[in-house]
Amino acid sequence: MNGEPGCANFAGAAPDGTLFTAAPNPSQPSTGTGVFQPFVRIQRSSAQANNPGSDCNGSGDCVNVGGTMVPSENGFNSDAKESDINFDTKQGVWTRSVLMSEFEFLPNGYVLLSLDANQLGQAETDLNKIVITQMEIFIGPGLANPEASNTGIEGTGYDGTLFDADNNQADDKLLGLTSRWSLDSAANGNVDVVLQASICDTRGQCGSGHGDLNVFIPVSLLGPFSPTDNFVFYSEYLYANDGFEEWKFQDAPGQQVPAPGSLALVGIGLAAIGLRRRLQLGRLGPRAKGKTWMGARASLDKPRF
């Protein structure tokens, strides 16, 4: 999703009906802590990780992308304590369990999730781009603290192949439950979202504290659920090189839903809107926390369009 000045209104639609829009940081209110109210915060263990042209460094996790090691991070919302919490998720007031009863569904039946991304570099630079390689939603009772089960990868309760190359969401499970919605799916194929983190309408007004990306997911894709069911959002990122990535959900009316018919379909306008199918990807096995993930991924050397 290109978000430089002049590109802040880019949007796209996935074949399954999910809508994506760039959300430029406005000048008012000012950006900063307390403006954005997240339900999950994810940050690799070594924040500033990659300088242009260098291999992955620092103590965080990395993925082999076309022969270059690039910084990665992943995680999901939970009530687990810091010592037990999954992958690169950060425990605290910014990460918590969520009930389906907390959502305000938008007109025409959408759930809205908004991302505030943080990257090094100036707007319009490759260093400032982050790639979202997977998003999944799990819904069900008893998902407030999956780590308490001490099952799955690293005792997180999550099973599957991390940073994998297929569009088969059935092999990713949380406490045995298959995801209700997935960015990579039979309908969508393998999709990356390339996002310019410092997007804004006015130069000098870019910063943390406001959403950079809005994702409108049709409620019809989530299947039946109870108001007391837990909502768990899992996501994966490449080229994460600075601060945290935070997600919030719409809990009050007011947000307008873009008209689906006006948006380009993923697979048609990929280069223009920053949604890109992945080709010839290898599969990666589970990693050990704090170590390099070995394996092949897309033939990317750096974020590019």
Asked if residue 151 has pLDDT above 60, the reply is yes
Alpha carbon separation from 32 to 48, 69, 213 (Å, rounded): 19, 31, 17
Q: How confident is the model at residue 140 (pLDDT cuts 50, 70, 90)?
A: very high
> How confident is the model over 155-162, as a mean pLDDT?
94
Tens digits of per-residue pLDDT, 217-273?
999 999 999 999 999 999 999 988 888 899 999 865 656 677 665 554 443 333 333
Considering only CA atoms, which of 215, 203, 23, 193 is closest in space to residue 106? 215
Neighbours of 219 (CB within 10 A): 16
Identify which has the larger pLDDT, 116 or 53. 116
Identity of the amino acid at 5: P
Mean pLDDT, residues 9-23 = 83
In degrees, to the nearest 5, what angle opens at C-alpha 278 toward C-alphas 298 and 152?
80
Closest CA to 40 of 130, 178, 128, 136: 136
Nearest of 143, 135, 160 to residue 235 by alpha carbon: 135
Question: For the residues 58-83, what does the mean pLDDT come to?
Answer: 84
Tokens of 69: 């090691």
pLDDT for position 165:
63
User: Quick one: which H or E segment has residue 270?
Assistant: helix 270-273
Q: What is the pLDDT of residue 34?
A: 60
Confidence of residue 3 (pLDDT cuts 50, 70, 90): very low
Collapsing DSSP states into helix, strand and coil, what is residue 170? helix
The answer to whether residue 148 scores a pLDDT higher than 90 is yes
3-state secondary structure of 100: helix
**Encoded amino acid at 140, one letter:** G
Q: Look up residue 273 and give its DSSP letter.
A: H
Q: Return the higher-pLDDT residue of 119 and 226.
A: 226
Q: Is the pLDDT of residue 22 over 70?
A: yes
Residue 79 has pLDDT above 90, yes or no: yes
Note whether 73 and 63 are within 8 A (CB).
no
Identify whether the C-beta of residue 229 lies closer than 8 Å to the C-beta of residue 186: no
**Using an 8 Å Cβ cutoff, are 62 and 163 in contact?**
no
Distances in whole angstroms, Cα of residue 223 to Cα of each of 137, 164, 179, 190, 219? 11, 25, 10, 22, 8
- Whole-model pTM: value is 0.81
CB 291 within 8 A of CB 60: no
Q: Per-domain residue ranges for the chain?
A: 11-48+57-293
Does the structure show a pLDDT above 80 at 100? yes
Q: How far apart are CA 82 and CA 79, in angstroms?
A: 9
101: left (phi over 0), alpha (psi -120 to 50) or beta: alpha
